[in-house]
Amino acid sequence: DVKVTQSSRYLVKRTGEKVFLECVQDMDHENMFWYRQDPGLGLRLIYFSYDVKMKEKGDIPEGYSVSREKKERFSLILESASTNQTSMYLCASSWDQNEQFFGPGTRLTVL
């Protein structure tokens, strides 16, 4: 079974803090994705990566950056957290043109 894990289920940070969200997949997938999910807005793509050290902006990249130094790991970075970044963050991975497999999510609260 494909496993996608995220470093934290719940996270509380203060405004202005630097936040790292980690995602690891164990199936050698090429593609990895970061989404945020908000009520009424659904899932929105923040960034994705289709190979090591490669990254592409999604629909809402502002305020975020990413890092993919190893194939299995994709990190989402909030350089200076703000209250409007309070959300559920979901990581996913996939191989080529196939279904995406999701992690359990990280619920981030920025105070």
Partner 1 sequence: SQELEQSPQSLIVQEGKNLTINCTSSKTLYGLYWYKQKYGEGLIFLMMLQKGGEEKSHEKITAKLDEKKQQSSLHITASQPSHAGIYLCGADRRGRIGNQFYFGTGTSLTVIP
Q: Transcribe 6-53 into DSSP letters.
A: ES-SEEEE-TT--EEEEEEESS--SEEEEEEEETTTEEEEEEEEEETT
Which residues form the interface with partner 1 (CB under 8 A)? 4, 31, 33, 40-43, 45, 48-50, 56, 58, 88, 90, 92, 94, 96-105, 107
Question: Alpha-carbon distance 84 to 67, whole Å?
Answer: 22
Least distance CB 60 / partner 1 (angstroms): 12
12 or 79: CB nearest partner 1: 12
Write down the least CB distance from residue 53 to partner 1, Å. Answer: 14
CA angle, 31 then 81 then 8, to 5° = 55
Give the shortest CB-11-to-partner 1 separation in angstroms: 14
Nearer CB in complex with partner 1: 56/80: 56
